[in-house]
Amino acid sequence: MKKRRILHSLVLMISMLACDDSTPDTSSTDFMISDELDQAPNTETTDFMMDQPDLAMDLGLDLDSEIINDAIMDMALLPDAEPISLSLTIDQPSQNMMFDQNMPISVLGQIEINSGSLEFVVVEAVLDEQESLPVEVDRTRGIWSTNIASASPGPHTLLVTAAMAPDYRTEITLNFTITCETLNSFSEPLDPNLWVAKGPAIRDERGWVELTQNQLNTKGALFWAGQPVQAGNLDLAFSFSTSKCEEPGECDRNRINAGGGFSINFWDIRPSALESLWSVTRGLGHATPVALLNELELERTESFHIVFDTYSNTCAPCGQNAPFDGCGNHHEEPTHQNHVAIYRNGHSAIHGDPDEMGSYCHLGPISDDYADRWSAYPELDNGEWHQAHLIIDGTRVTLSINDTPQLSVELPDLRFKGGILSLSAGSGVNGNFHRIDNLQVNSQCQ
């Protein structure tokens, strides 16, 4: 029996010495050699051994001997070794989550091996293909963890890899985003790599943005072209003040003739298309009349607008006794009072598309079906600083001013495209100062 066990080892040695590089490494596998010969022999093993006469001769073995034949038959009955495989999972956090800047992120997962021990398995974590992170592994429970202390605003990818010699390997990725919390206090000169100014829009040296400077028949805008806002959810806050007074603060000067208004706009365009867009915008810097689009052979741009309006228009002919400021215009305001409203895609009405001539008057008055898309806000032009807060969460849009809800509407077809943010304002026969300050944008980043 002892001689037979030695021969088993020699037969195994012959197999190993003759293997090429593609033969699996079975040196670490424990084999149970059966003495029962009533199983079907492994003909591949038998043929392999018989094909190695020179190697057997070098070892002093007689392949025709009965003992060698018995050893070969025993080797033929060895079970095939189960291939080793590794698997990784990430239990927390979930994929594609958003985190606030400077918020630590704990990543926890499991590691499994189908055969053998985790003792020799190495787990590595690399953030954005650049930064290696320390990984702790509980090999008894099969749990691994790592921590991301800080990451810059924007999207990130964590690659976790498990490996064991000689060439067993598996990997898994975690995608997440750090919110782009950006605060523009306008206390410093505008960065020309980020901001593009149009019309009379300037940064006032007193530390805010002034869009129209109380001029008549004008429009002004600042485009945040250097850092487009990504599609998806949005959280935006800013301060505003509009009046005819030179300084922000309580102002009742000629409010009956407040001019125009301002708007917060998101244009789904590339920065290279900004000049063409500006050439066709009208109103409060948000409207793109169909006649101008046709004249310049431009397509209507997907866009989203929050309009703060202090001048009410109506389709009614002039000369009628109506409370609206403007008569005989091509669109109807929802109210003759100061108000805020949601507009989309460069339209001047909230309840439909224009006719071929660019007029919205055929739509008639705005019905109650659209009552949740606008809200009267009489204090809009009192000169005081007001705090606005806009949230887009999927298809729901909410707007509050001074922590008081003004709009809350579900727009089932809304797919917020983000894009270039513009702060714009316009005036007609009446003017106003339109000031924006402390612009804070929390969103995903591009």
pLDDT at 59: 54
pTM of the entire predicted model? 0.64
163/195 same-domain check: no
pLDDT at 20: 45
Confidence of residue 259 (pLDDT cuts 50, 70, 90): confident
Question: Is 420 inside a domain boundary?
Answer: yes
pLDDT at 327: 82
224/281 same-domain check: yes
Confidence of residue 116 (pLDDT cuts 50, 70, 90): confident
What is the mean predicted confidence (pLDDT) over 263-270? 95
What is the mean predicted confidence (pLDDT) over 106-120? 92
- Please identify, among 150, 178, 206, the residue that sits at the C-terminal boundary of a domain: 178
**pLDDT tens, residue by residue, 364-399:** 999 999 999 999 999 999 999 999 999 999 999 999
**CATH number where 106 lies:** 2.60.40.10
pLDDT at 103: 83
**CATH number where 227 lies:** 2.60.120.200
- Please identify, among 50, 76, 102, the residue that sits at the C-terminal boundary of a domain: 76
Question: Is 10 inside a domain boundary?
Answer: yes
116/32 same-domain check: no
6/137 same-domain check: no
Residue 221 has pLDDT above 80, yes or no: yes
pLDDT at 23: 43
165/303 same-domain check: no
Confidence of residue 420 (pLDDT cuts 50, 70, 90): very high
38/108 same-domain check: no
Residue 43 has pLDDT above 50, yes or no: no
In terms of pLDDT, which residue wins out, 177 or 219? 219
Residues 6+ apart with CB under 8 A from 287: 281, 343, 346, 347, 348
**pLDDT tens, residue by residue, 225-250:** 988 887 888 899 999 999 999 999 99
Question: Is 271 inside a domain boundary?
Answer: yes
Residue 315 has pLDDT above 60, yes or no: yes
Q: What is the mean pLDDT of the chain?
A: 84
37/150 same-domain check: no
341/423 same-domain check: yes
Residue 178 has pLDDT above 50, yes or no: yes
* Total domains in the fold of the chain: 3
Question: Is 81 inside a domain boundary?
Answer: no
Domain that holds residue 122: 86-178
92/23 same-domain check: no
148/198 same-domain check: no
pLDDT at 318: 85
pLDDT at 51: 55
Question: Is 436 inside a domain boundary?
Answer: yes
